[in-house]
Amino acid sequence: MAKKVDKFESDLLRGSLDLMVLAVLDQEDQYGYIIQKKIREASGEKVSMSAGTMYPLLHRLEGEKLIRSRWDDSTGRRRKWYAITAAGRKRLTKQANQWNQYVQCMAGLMQGYYKPVPKLG
52 or 116: whose CB is closer to other proteins? 52
Whether 96 contacts 45, CB under 8 Å: no
Whether 67 contacts 84, CB under 8 Å: yes
27 or 50: whose CB is closer to other proteins? 50
Residues 5, 7, 10, 33: which binds other proteins (CB under 8 A)? 33
Q: Any bridge partners for residue 11, and if so which?
A: none
> In the bound complex, what is the minimum distance in angstroms from residue 107's beta carbon to other proteins?
33
* Residue 80 binds to other proteins (criterion: CB under 8 A): yes
78 or 119: whose CB is closer to other proteins? 78
Q: Where does this chain bind other proteins (CB under 8 A)?
A: 31-34, 36, 50-53, 55-56, 59-60, 62-64, 71, 77-80
